[in-house]
Amino acid sequence: MGRVTHADEFPAPEFHGGALDAAAMREQYRSEGLLESDLAPDPYEQFAIWFAQVFAAGLREPNAMVVSTVDAEGRPGSRTVLLKGYDERGFVFYTNYGSRKAADLAGNPYVSLLFPWHPIGRQVIVGGRAERVDPSETAVYFHSRPRGSQLGAWASAQSAVVASREEIDSAYERLLARYPEGEPVPVPTGWGGFRVIAESVEFWQGRENRLHDRLRYVREGQAWRVERLSP
């Protein structure tokens, strides 16, 4: 299994015409690499191993992932959400069922999840199909959230255009009055989880000279086949 490594020196910034030069930014990845023989039998186990290593390496919010969906006109949309569960059934996140991403998924359940672990030279990309999480499972997660987040879920019609910040703050104030401390906050009807059932999972390990390792699990019936991709 490739050691978790990243460049120890921070590159000196270069400026071009007064602006920070993106083209001059160059990171050299020095990793032992990822071999087929290193991999766990299924991508969920492999994900669990890398997730623990990324956390141990000190990366903040390693559960932050970019979720990409496609709307009815074929236009993609991406946003960051937090992974809140993973096992052999799939990868779970929670959101507003009235949001743009939920509307996209209602028309096209295919989704991409990207874990941007580049500070340690890694990336995981999941391709799959999203299904709504059972309301009883959503309720367990909702009630584990801080009270402020529970009320926040009620206060936000996520993705809708609002007139002002005050509109959001006053909705929150009204909810504070409606659900005083000690009063349980019910799960909003339009809020819940999505579980992404993986069809492919790629593990990307940065290597020297841009000759990275890319190993992808592809689902074949009940089994997983592993293929290596050119970097």
Ligand X SMILES: Cc1cc2nc3c(=O)[nH]c(=O)nc-3n(C[C@H](O)[C@H](O)[C@H](O)COP(=O)(O)O)c2cc1C
Site residues for ligand X, 29-48, by CB under 6 A, read none
Dihedral of CA atoms 203, 208, 210, 215 in degrees, nearest 10, equals: -20
Residue type at position 25 = M
Residue 100 near ligand X by CB under 6 A: yes
Q: How far is the CB of 102 from ligand X (least distance, A)?
A: 7
Q: Which of 3, 178, 210, 228 is catalytic?
A: 210
Site residues for ligand X, 143-172, by CB under 6 A, read 158-159
Among 46, 53, 95, 138, binds ligand X (CB under 6 A): 95
Among 6, 34, 90, 101, binds ligand X (CB under 6 A): 101
Taking the least distance from each CB to ligand X, the nearer of 67 and 215 is: 67
Among 11, 52, 80, 162, binds ligand X (CB under 6 A): 80
Q: How far is the CB of 150 from ligand X (least distance, A)?
A: 14
Is 80 among the annotated ligand-binding positions?
yes
Site residues for ligand X, 162-221, by CB under 6 A, read none
Of 75-83, 121-129, 197-205, 219-227, which part binds ligand X (CB under 6 A)? Answer: 75-83
Residue 93 near ligand X by CB under 6 A: yes
The pairs formed by 107-112 with CB atoms below 8 angstroms and a separation of 24 or more are 107/71, 107/72, 108/69, 108/70, 108/71, 108/72, 110/70, 111/67, 111/68, 111/69, 111/194, 111/196, 112/66, 112/67, 112/68
Is 60 among the annotated ligand-binding positions?
no
Residue 210 designated active-site:
yes
Residue 77 near ligand X by CB under 6 A: yes
Q: How far is the CB of 108 from ligand X (least distance, A)?
A: 14
Of 97-105, 117-125, 144-152, 175-183, which part binds ligand X (CB under 6 A)? Answer: 97-105
Q: How far is the CB of 40 from ligand X (least distance, A)?
A: 26
Among 81, 139, 168, 175, binds ligand X (CB under 6 A): 81
Report, as residue numbers or ranges, the catalytic residues: 210
